[in-house]
Amino acid sequence: MPRPKEFTVRLTAADRAKLTKVVSSGIHPARMITRARVLLALDESQGDAPDRRVVAERVGKSESIVYLVAKSFATQGGGVEEVIGRKKRATPPVEPMVTGDVEARVIALACSQPPPGRQRWTLRLLEKHVLVTDGIPPLDHSTIGRVLKRGRSSLT
């Protein structure tokens, strides 16, 4: 005896058309196409939907994938785009070391007079001076070069 359905999927005609286009066009990522196929197979607006096991066999994925897609559809409130699409990351995985303030201070240092006995700044010399300057995190000479190149400085 099959389990009772926890999450039901009812698609509107517009959603069905959108999902059919995603499945049939073949220009979308495989995960998106798979989730669209699962939603189309679970749709109960056209009649009774088959069991999760049957849908999993038909789509070629596990029952847990079918369950998670149905659960996501139910918790998203019926938003098809949110279910089949990727989530956008809220923050980058690592905070960037070079912010606008750091970039401005490095450019200002590079535009200043070089130390006595030197005619011009080199990237390695800038690296040594950045280490002793307060308020600037320690930066590698290659990072300083990228900052100056991005700042369109004529010093590199």
Residues in the chain predicted with pLDDT less than 50, given as ranges, are: 1
Residue 89 to residues 92, 93, 150, Cα–Cα distance (Å): 7, 9, 25
pLDDT tens-digit map of 137-154: 899 999 999 999 876 655
**pTM to 2 decimals?**
0.58
pLDDT score recorded for residue 4: 61
- What DSSP designation does 106 have? H
pLDDT score recorded for residue 1: 47
- CA dihedral for 42, 48, 51, 55, sign (positive or negative): negative
